[in-house]
Amino acid sequence: MAPSQYLLYDIPSGKAPCATWSPNPWKTRLLLNFKGLDYQTQWVEYPDIKSTLENHVTPNEGSFPYTCPTLACPDGTYVMDSRKIADYIERQAPLPSLHLDSIYLEKVERLWSQYMGAIKPIFVPLVPRQILNEESVGYWNSTREQAFGMSLDQLEREKGGERAWNEAEPALREVTALLQENEGPFFLGNTVSYADLVWGSILLFNQRLGSDIFDEALKRSGDSQVHLNLLKAVQPWA
């Protein structure tokens, strides 16, 4: 790694070519590209995340103490968690601005969490089937089954489908309303902010899960065009 280069720890997909798929790493990748920063990617399978990061960062509290994205910075600093990375990078490279003080960011981050929580019964069973390398499938299945207290098949059968989409729809429609306020394509109108990268990560993740998931999310949003406009607008950094 060059002295001025960042190193992004990300989780690989099982489909060639290897590419970002998970929304939290997408936030950081979009951010680094938006800022025009030089970086390399180190792909880390799920079972190897702890051993790769434990000597560099303080563990998170909760079920997953070590997570991607983590960013190794040119000054030797390691930063774990996409929002912490955004705060750090904004201090190190303030232009172009992420507008972290935008009134939209807190709202979009809340809706990001609300939406992702609602569709867990849909995407948690899909990820090992459609995205992960074999090296990560067992880890994903065992940790998620422990978290939910049931098999992923049971999770999908009992809590997925229409039930999950009905829970997700209010968040989608609230994001739609926010995107409509300033006539887009961004939440601030013609000004890019971190809120756009946060919601862009959802749209890119939905695409990666498959056209049926992506199309259903757009249908539930109440106005698919504002989301498509945002997706198109963030493509230069994707």
Find tokens 């968040």 and name the residue: 171
Condensed to tens digits (0 to 9), the pLDDT of residues 17-46 reads 789 999 999 999 999 999 999 999 999 999
CATH-assigned architecture of domain 6-92: 3-Layer(aba) Sandwich (3.40)
Average confidence score pLDDT of the chain:
96
117 pLDDT tier (thresholds 50, 70, 90): very high
123 pLDDT tier (thresholds 50, 70, 90): very high
Where in the chain are the domains?
A: 6-92, 103-237
CA gap 35, 152 in Å, rounded: 38
CATH number of 103-237: 1.20.1050.10
CA gap 229, 184 in Å, rounded: 8
Condensed to tens digits (0 to 9), the pLDDT of residues 188-198 reads 999 999 999 99
Any long-range contacts for 219-227 (C-beta under 8 Å, 24+ apart)?
A: 220/165, 220/168, 220/169, 220/172, 220/173, 221/172, 221/173, 221/175, 221/176, 222/172, 222/173, 222/176, 223/176, 223/179, 223/180, 226/176, 226/179, 226/180, 226/184, 226/185, 227/175, 227/176, 227/179, 227/203
